[in-house]
Amino acid sequence: IKHRYLAALAMVVLGGCYYDNEEELYPFAFCDTEGISWAQDIRPIIQLRCATPGCHVPGAQSPDLSTYAGVKAQADAGRIQARVIDRVPSAMPPTGPLPSCDQLKIKRWLDEGAPDN
């Protein structure tokens, strides 16, 4: 009887330690890449994953990605494509690749000339 209680308790406790990875659970989830804009789609990704304290902001690591002009310069030089999408010569962000939908949005934006829209 004691083992049953311990087993039931273990199932309840350990069951709460499971972490889902959305891309693994839903590999074919829809990613809307129509009408991608700097303001609505790309800037939030850059601000969340790149232009963060200690990374690509003024006074930290170069290049400065805190403004559209800074991101556009890197996009025009092919560095956003190389580092974020192709992940060469070194991958960015260093914490791991962006979710595939974010990569698709950035790729589409780059393909459209990285407009400030």
Q: Dihedral sign for Cα 33, 117, 55, 107, please.
A: positive
CA-to-CA dists, residue 52 to 2, 46, 60, angstroms: 51, 8, 9
pLDDT, tens digit (0-9, with 9 covering 90-100), for 61-100: 899 999 999 999 999 999 999 999 999 998 999 989 999 9
| Contact by Cβ (8 Å): 92, 101 | no
In this prediction, residues 47-72 reach a mean pLDDT of 93
Per-residue tokens: 73: 């310069």
Contacts of residue 53, defined as CB under 8 A and 6 or more positions apart, other chains included, come to 60
pTM over the 0.85 mark:
no
Question: pLDDT tens for residues 29-39?
Answer: 789 999 999 99
Q: 7-16, 56-65, 99-108 — which is least confidently predicted?
A: 7-16
Interatomic CA distance for residues 13 and 82, integer angstroms: 44
Nearest CA-CA partner of 80 in 95, 70, 61, 23: 70
Q: What is the pLDDT of residue 17?
A: 44
Q: Token pair of 68, please?
A: 């559209």
* Tens of pLDDT, residues 98-108: 999 999 999 99
